[in-house]
Amino acid sequence: MRLLNSTSFELVEFVGDSIPPYAILSHTWASEEVTFSDLQQREYEHLQGFAKLKSCCAQAVQDGLEWAWIDTCCIDKSSSAELSEAINSMYLWYKNADVCYVYLYDVPPPDPFVDEHLFQNARWFTRGWCLQELIAPREVEFYAQDWTELGTKWSLKQAIFDITSIPIAVLLQKKHLGHFPVAQRMSWASKRNTTREEDIAYCLLGIFDINMPLLYGEGRRAFIRLQEEIMRRRVDYSIFLWQSTALHSTTGLLCDSPHYFPGNGVAIRSGGFCKYSDIVASKIFIENGPEYVRPPEVTPRGLEMTVHNKPLEDGSRLAWIYSTHNDGLVCIFLSWSQSDHKYYRTRVGYIEIAGNEGELESFQTECMRMAIFTDLSIPRIPRQTLDFKLWLKSTAEEQLSILDIYPDCNLQHRQDGSYGTELDLAACPEFFVVVFCVEQGSLTHRFVTVFSLFHVTWSCKIRKFVPGEPLEDIAKEMRKARPRGDDSDRVILRLPSSTYVTVASKRRARSSRHYLFVSLIPESFATDPQYERGGLCDINLLKI
């Protein structure tokens, strides 16, 4: 370990028991930081970062500490071997420090609580590396931009809990990190970011007591490797309890970022949230130990594990993850892929709480092979609601209207002329079946459009209208027909009157929300070459 002398600013190497007492700095990087090479060449006093280094060392001297450790200058980052060793050792270095100084450059003195949001909104609370720097040391002191003390981890514990959701027992080291579910620990990093993509995994090594080689350039794969290492060392199925707005997508059992473990817990299908802090290992699992099931094993063919599961009507399965929430079975949804003979996680926008452990009689036990990860861009969770919004555009001769919709979603006619409703992500239906009516004098034509949720986009498909056919049956038929290769974000239909209906799913400017436009257009306009170049000419026209 290389330490910085607090008065001479010289770097000295220490090994094992020879390491003296030292202070350690936690901060966010800025421009012109003092680096290892700057100290070696003794060219640093002109750099902006020198003021921070000098103040840190001055505080260490005031506290009677001859040595300090600062990440900007105590690691030779030109050596990949040294960088790897430092990152794998960093949690221990912060833990063993006599005191950790947290420098908040964007919080003014003397009292942040005169304007409390300045402390809450400090950039330091958003950085991935700062998570372990908050948890690992026993003594943590916070300093404002002029190095005025703001308080300690102890004195500010409630404010820090409110900002980070990290339990006070963890902050004050009254409970070992191993007492907390993997998913809960992941959620502490859900609102944090790192400059390099791989570092969102590497900054969590100490939180999970993991050592692994660094492979810069592997991108999101680093987080997958971290989870695989966690599963090798700990049987904790909460690692599968992540959530995405890709509500009904099919993907592997692991995600590629801690951002998918929301701080308020994972949504429950029936409503509400399952807080990670409320998840407990099943009594059955505790009493029988890991021998009760085959723990997850990472193999070249996928993730192999024993699963209690229950077949569902749509062909998917409900899989229990050996945990309970308020005595209910915590379950995720799985679907079978015939192409590679693996199970994939589906309906990743929520979980299911399936009764109590007495319900296990209806479950079957088998060893399953799961897909570990699919390289699919999974939307994060920037919001908790989703719009279902329809704009109808008629012609002078024909009027377009909505006759019926399934499931009922309280569709309202809004002031902007649209028909819409706001849906809770946890309870969002997989399909909407809408019956439209086109009136032309005494003639009427009806058609059915099925809107399906794909990630956060509504895809669409037009069907013939069969009088008397329940819309619920159409929804069931669509669910059994997955995957839906004939869905699209643009469809067109020709009516017997030679008028065309177009349905388009579009994203509004500067918005991540997608809306649906259903329009009637004359035949002369639909067959115009200029219109065909708009992208609808290659879609099959359906006659009804």
81, 128, 129, 164, 193 from 196: Cα distances, Å: 18, 10, 11, 22, 9
Q: Is 210 a residue whose pLDDT tops 70? A: yes
Average pLDDT (52-56) is 96
Average pLDDT over residues 338-342: 89
Q: How far is CA 187 from the centre of its chain?
A: 9
With cut-offs at 50, 70 and 90, classify the pLDDT of residue 289.
low
Which residue has better confidence, 285 or 2?
2
Give me the chain's average pLDDT, please.
84
- Comparing 285 with 276, the larger pLDDT belongs to 276
* 59-76 mean pLDDT: 96
The pLDDT assigned to 165 comes to 95
- The strand pair at 399-406 and 352-353 is best described as unpaired
What pLDDT score does 308 carry? 92
Q: Is the pLDDT of residue 455 over 80?
A: no
- pTM listed for this prediction: 0.74
Helix or strand holding residue 80 (H, E): helix 80-96
Q: Three-state SS for 411?
A: coil
Q: Could you give the CA distance from residue 168 to residue 170 in angstroms, rounded to a whole number?
A: 5
Asked whether residue 541 carries a pLDDT value surpassing 50, the answer given is: no
Architecture of domain 385-543: Sandwich (2.60)
Looking at the predicted structure, is the pLDDT value of residue 483 above 60? no
Mean pLDDT confidence for 213-222: 94
Q: Which of 47, 45, 67 is nearest to 56 (CA)?
A: 67
pLDDT for 534 equals 37
Ordered by start, the domain boundaries in the chain are 2-175, 234-370, 385-543
Residue 67 has pLDDT above 80, yes or no: yes
Per-residue pLDDT reduced to its tens digit, 99-133: 999 999 999 986 655 566 789 889 999 999 999 99
More confident residue, 267 or 496: 267
Q: Which of 180-184, 244-248, 391-395, 511-515 has the lowest mean pLDDT?
A: 511-515
Higher per-residue pLDDT: 498 or 194: 194
Q: So what's the pLDDT on residue 486?
A: 58
Stronger pLDDT, 524 or 327, i.e. the higher one = 327
Among 44-53, 241-250, 384-393, name the most confident range.
44-53
Q: What is the spatial distance between Cα 35 and Cα 54, in angstroms, rounded to a whole number?
A: 13
Segment 270-284, tens digit of pLDDT: 888 999 999 988 877
Percentage of the chain lying above the pLDDT 90 cut: 51
- Looking at residue 492, its pLDDT comes to 84
- What percentage of the chain's residues is helix, strand, coil (to nearest 5)? 30, 30, 40
According to the 3-state scheme, what is the secondary structure of 349-373?
CCEEECCCHHHHHHCEEEEEEECCC
Alpha carbons 101 and 59: distance in angstroms, whole number:
9
| Average pLDDT of the residues in 48-64 | 95
CA angle 174, 175, 177 (to 5 degrees): 135
Confidence of residue 392 (pLDDT cuts 50, 70, 90): confident
What mean pLDDT comes out for the span 281-307?
78
Place of tokens 């700990």: 234
Q: State pLDDT tens for residues 259-271.
A: 999 998 998 988 8
